[in-house]
Amino acid sequence: MNRELKFRAFNTNTKEIVSWEEMGDDHWDLWNEFKNCKTIMQFTGLLDKNSKEIYEGDLLQDGITVIWREDLASFALRKDGWMYDHYFGEAVDPGHCEVIGNIYENHIINS
């Protein structure tokens, strides 16, 4: 099974999320746009209950943040009050969750 690799980024100049598709086909324009980005977020390959793509850095209902765990080479879920991070399916079924924002536009970062 192939997982679709997609990315988006937070543009520090415009203060908005820029999708890969919005950057156009010109690779030089793409590079110039990405130079202004604070961070690049990868698509998890999962969709929420509204068929919205779930990316690293997204905020889900109930205060859950989607993170990338470098040490586990995996996406995980983090929430204040949880003793440890969880995987999708352990704490939340992606088909039942809802993306409500992201840590960059909503200024929330759970460490």
Whole-prediction pTM value? 0.78
Domains of the chain by start residue, with CATH: 7-102 (2.30.30.290)
- Residue 40: band (very low, low, confident or very high) from pLDDT cuts 50, 70, 90: confident
pLDDT in tens, 90-102: 888 888 999 999 9
pLDDT of residue 15: 79
Closest CA to 65 of 19, 101, 15, 18: 101
Sorted by sequence, the CB contacts under 8 Å of residue 30 that are 6+ apart come out as: 23, 24
Per the DSSP assignment, residues forming a β-bridge with 35 are none
